[in-house]
Amino acid sequence: MTLPVETFFLKPDAHGTLQQQIQQMIAQGILSGRFKKREKLPSTRKLAVHLGVSRITVTIAYTELLANDYLASKGRSGYYVSENAPSPPAFSATPERQDAVDWTRAIGQKFSGAATLSKPLDWAKYRYPFIYGQADPTLFDHTNWRLCALQALGQKDFTSLTTDYFDQDDPQLIEFIGRHTLPRRGITARPEQILITLGAQNALWLTTQVLLTQRRNAALEDPCYPALRDILSQSRCHVTPVRVDQDGIPPDAIPPQTDVIFTTPSHQCPTNATMPMNRRRALLNRARDLDALIVEDDYEFEMSFLKSPSPALKSLDTDGRVVYVGSFSKSLFPGLRLGYLVGSEPFIREARALRASVLRHPPGHIQRTAAYFLSLGHYDALIRRMGAALQERRKVMEEAIAARNLEISGRGFYGGSSFWMLAPTGIDTEELAQRLRAKGVLIEPGHAFFSGEQPPHNYYRLAYSSIPSARISAGVDLIADEIAATSPTGPIY
Amino acid sequence: MTLPVETFFLKPDAHGTLQQQIQQMIAQGILSGRFKKREKLPSTRKLAVHLGVSRITVTIAYTELLANDYLASKGRSGYYVSENAPSPPAFSATPERQDAVDWTRAIGQKFSGAATLSKPLDWAKYRYPFIYGQADPTLFDHTNWRLCALQALGQKDFTSLTTDYFDQDDPQLIEFIGRHTLPRRGITARPEQILITLGAQNALWLTTQVLLTQRRNAALEDPCYPALRDILSQSRCHVTPVRVDQDGIPPDAIPPQTDVIFTTPSHQCPTNATMPMNRRRALLNRARDLDALIVEDDYEFEMSFLKSPSPALKSLDTDGRVVYVGSFSKSLFPGLRLGYLVGSEPFIREARALRASVLRHPPGHIQRTAAYFLSLGHYDALIRRMGAALQERRKVMEEAIAARNLEISGRGFYGGSSFWMLAPTGIDTEELAQRLRAKGVLIEPGHAFFSGEQPPHNYYRLAYSSIPSARISAGVDLIADEIAATSPTGPIY
């Protein structure tokens, strides 16, 4: 029989073009068993009229399904569900039941409940998003990224796209990082000393697993990137937070017995402090005296638009005691999840083996796309454009902040993409953030960056990487008004 | 001054089109500081002649570099290195030195040295690749994958491509898996019960970390997927290998005190045994008696082209004690690194938190591309085509194997993509594999699949997922000849 045209509906929540929606509707009708083999479909004209779409749209959808052998056509007599169409399962799905398992007992290790920087998933819909680390569609070079991705999807690259590298990386990406990216940080490295990771966080995680145990000690900047603190506490090693000053982590404050020092010399996260050369040397000497290793997260080095970036700590490392963490996720886009580790061979060998066991390797297509984007010079051009835009926004920010007497706690004299702010004592920036959110302003409360039981609650971060200049001062005004309104010391004028 | 045309060379090992190679050469000359700002480039004509390429090729390369602000053009007077071109670093890379670090001490945890199934990276160049789990370019639906990837790269999907999901997944992919993929396995699951992983191995790794500790016991199929054994030994839990028979793992052989049972009911890896329904029920009862959990790796269920697949163990699970592992990497391509976990909410919550800390989330673009490929029906069509091709190859394999009296130890009556083979006693299949490799034949030695100190050395796996039918019998002949030549019991006729 012919399937009654009335049984065909486009889901209101369906994705894609009309033609794709029709294709999905029919394919899924067949896969679910609603449409049976040899059943006749409505004519393209009939279905087009019924759905209120053009006949050609239906015809293209039918042709697609013909190619995939969901449908067969019998010349003039029209389209039928194909004999060879995928069959529905011979059994039906079981309804959900109550668990008989006692999960509090069954779960061997808990990982949930860590302090995180949450932002609304629809942050882009807010008018004043002073949030950190998201891609700005107005700055990102979407066209060239798309072209490079396309090329990496080409027949020529089929193997690099599809192959199971097991524990290897894309040789083209490794080659570029070794020949061009690292030399720009003053670092020399052979391919065996480089490992591609699923973003900087994955690099820090791998490093922690390889270098730290319950019997070892880590020194951590305070404040710092919260996810790093979670990673370290999960590793169960002993962690000592070291309070940073305007030059970053003070070497003398690093306790004896420290095995691994985690630091962000380019732009301290979140204070934006850039570590001066003399302190970098002092830090290396301190590490040598303690026979400790240093993990350098070369955080936002590309965002040095005010002064040219200093060479990486790793480039001053004559002992091989620095493990270097680089990332493309921040400068390209975080959803990319692409970073890398640079270190001595024995270390990289273990990190590689661990990565192979945890996830084998980062997806081939992403590695190859990045390799093209970098080697064609699009990456450096993008960084330059971003730097120019951020510099301009930063100027507007500084003026707006000064105009309203807001207190900057850390501004980063090399650049960066955010200000580390201090609200008057007594103000809880988490509540502040909630109230501002209702007014379309997104700021980041600062307490999550701090270690210890009693973190200060009056710090907050204002990033300018995702907000257009034109909206900055109005946004800062709203923040200042809210602070003034709730300041225990009364409004500030 | 003008840069002498003689200083321009195309690297013989360069990648990409000629135009891209020229673009790379110039961009990298500028980035490395070889070409200084305001220096004049050779005319397009001159450079074209010097490199022996068409002038238009050079012109396009120059125009690209103009757009990226590497070059500036002064009308008739030609092209110059732009004032705004990215600058080279102010410092030079340090030469490599000997490490002063004692890495044997510095490394806290060793991960390297596990038994792995290594295959030559250039396996595709071999004439008789009986290797497992690589994509066959002749079977993969490259065109439609490319179209879906393109769509996921479009402006409309910019956010889903670039955003930092933190611990979330692509809602479109989750929705499709929940609404269409899992019902076909008899499984009902809400979004909170599904987690996208970086392939099935990543799913197994996350599960192990959440469910097992040094004080807990795991039961493991023997033989089994070697990477799973590595993951379990790294978790330091107590592991009991349970020898499988022609129906998979025997429930009664699972020791008391077992906390977690790992099994592959659809196609046991590597023996291809499919667990009958009555044993699936017996296994669930055994698990209930032990109050143990079951981790079901629904290995190769799509490759059931001889009989329609049985519902997943998870679909018979009334207690919520089954954790289900699914994968797209095998059926699409391993380089994709995309799989998923299905389990009760408390479990998924912990797995999600761990994933967030280890790698945050699988790249957005890959998730969205898969969502399109699945929802348009390309995936099921692909599976169907692959099944048909594998069924035909399998027939050719069986004939060739019978003709040469090779012994099949496991053939999988539902389908699969490989045979589990037994060579005469005394034959070491690792040596056999080496000798065959020299003759262009790739087989997989079987010892790595076994647990224990003395694994049998005369098993091997012959996969037909990457070798064309036309070459199968000649390949099998070479294997049989080699075995006969080295068989301690003398040639077999």
pLDDT tens digit string along A92-139?
777 777 888 999 889 988 888 876 667 787 888 999 999 998 888 888
The partner residue sitting opposite A31, judged by closest CB among B27, B114, B380, is B380
Phi and psi at residue B327, to the nearest 5° = -150, 145
The token pair at B419 is 């045979």
Tell me which residue of B312, B323, B197 sits closest to B260, measured CA to CA.
B323
The answer to whether residue A408 scores a pLDDT higher than 60 is: yes
Domain with residue B410: its CATH number is 3.90.1150.10
Does residue A217 lie in a domain region? yes
Residues of A in contact with B164 (CB under 8 A): 133-134, 329, 334-335
Asked if B77 and B155 sit in the same domain, the reply is no
Structure tokens at B79: 């092209």
Tokens 């934006």, residue located: A272
Is the pLDDT at B275 greater than 90? The verdict is yes
Q: CB distance B336–A363 less than 8 Å?
A: yes
Task: Please report whether residue A87 resides in a domain.
Answer: no
In a domain, B102, yes or no: no
8 Å CB contact of A93 and B354: no
Q: Which residues on chain A are in Cβ contact (under 8 Å) with B103?
A: 344, 346-347
**Are both A131 and A215 inside the same structural domain?**
no
Encoded tokens for A164: 């199971």
Task: Provide the domain count of chain A.
Answer: 3
A477 touches chain B (CB under 8 A): no
Count of CB contacts below 8 A, A vs B? 407
Chain B closest CA to A489's CA: distance in Å? 37
Radius of gyration of chain B from its Cα atoms, rounded to whole angstroms: 28
The model's pLDDT over B318-355, given as tens digits with 9 standing for 90+, comes to 899 999 999 987 778 888 899 999 999 999 999 999 99
Put simply, whether B230 touches A (Cβ < 8 Å) is yes
Question: Looking at CA atoms only, how far is residue B464 from chain A in angstroms?
Answer: 16
d(CA B254, CA B292) in angstroms, rounded, equals 10
Mean pLDDT over A272-285 rounds to 96
The backbone region for B78, taken as left when phi is positive above 0, alpha when psi lies in -120 to 50, beta otherwise, is: left
> Measured between alpha carbons, how far is residue B273 from residues A194, B325, B411 in Å?
41, 18, 7
Mean pLDDT of chain B: 90
CATH number, domain with residue B237: 3.40.640.10
Q: Does the beta-carbon distance from A335 to B168 stay under 8 Å? A: no
Q: Do A332 and A226 share a domain, yes or no?
A: yes
Segment A400-425 shows an average pLDDT of: 94
Residue B46: band (very low, low, confident or very high) from pLDDT cuts 50, 70, 90: very high
Least confident window among A89-93, B399-403, B424-428: A89-93
At residue A299, the pLDDT reads 87
Taking the CB of residue A46, how many other CB atoms lie within 10 A of it?
A: 16
- Say yes or no: B388 and B283 in one domain: no
For A202, B21, B115, B387, B456, the CA distances from B233, given in Å and listed in that order, are 22, 47, 12, 35, 20
In a domain, A326, yes or no: yes
Q: Is the pLDDT of residue A316 over 60?
A: yes
- Nearest neighbour of B106 by CB, restricted to A116, A158, A293: A293
Partner-chain contact A347 B107, CB within 8 Å:
yes
Cα–Cα distance between B81 and B65 in angstroms, integer? 9
Chain B CB contacts of A70 below 8 Å? 377, 381
Say which residue, B488 or B53, is predicted with more confidence.
B53
pLDDT tens for A433-468 read 999 999 999 999 999 999 988 999 999 999 999 999
pLDDT of residue B7: 78
The whole-angstrom distance between A282's CA and the closest CA on chain B is 17
Residues from chain B that touch A384, judged by Cβ atoms under 8 A, are 69, 84, 86
A114 in contact with chain B, both atoms CB, cutoff 8 A? yes
B174 and B320 in one domain? yes
The confidence score (pLDDT) of residue B124 equals 86
Domain residue limits at A280: 142-377
B116 band by pLDDT with thresholds 50, 70 and 90? low
Q: Tens of pLDDT along B198-231?
A: 999 999 999 999 999 999 999 999 999 999 999 9
Q: Which of B377, B397, B428 is the last residue of a domain?
A: B377
Its pTM stands at: 0.90
Of A27, A160, A344, the CB nearest to B103: A344
Residue A101 maps to a domain: no
Residue A70 lies in a domain: yes
pLDDT at position B491: 52
Residues B212 and B343 in one domain: yes
Regarding whether A345 and A431 lie in a shared domain, the answer is no
Residue of A nearest to B258 (CA): A106
CB contact under 8 A, B28 and A180: yes
| Mean pLDDT of all residues in B87-111 | 83
- Report the complex ipTM: 0.89
* pLDDT for res B115: 65
In this structure, the answer to whether residues A196 and A294 fall within a common structural domain is: yes
**Together in a domain, B50 and B37:** yes
Inter-chain residue contact A93 with B360, CB threshold 8 Å? no
Same domain, yes or no, for B410 and B362? Answer: no
Q: Check whether residue A307 and residue A184 sit in a common domain.
A: yes
What is the per-residue pLDDT for A488? 64
**β-pair type (A459-463, A418-422):** antiparallel
pLDDT in tens, A213-268: 999 999 999 999 999 999 999 999 999 999 999 999 999 999 999 999 999 999 99
pLDDT at B301: 84
C-alpha–C-alpha distance, residues B183 and B368, integer Å: 21
Quick check: B122 contacting A, CB < 8 Å? no
A279 and A204 in a single domain? The answer is yes
Answer yes or no: is A425 within a domain: yes
> What value does the mean pLDDT take over residues A333-347?
92
Residue B327 in any domain: the answer is: yes
Q: What is the mean pLDDT of residues B241-260?
A: 97
The CATH code of the domain that includes B52 is: 1.10.10.10
Compute the average pLDDT of residues A57-65. Answer: 91
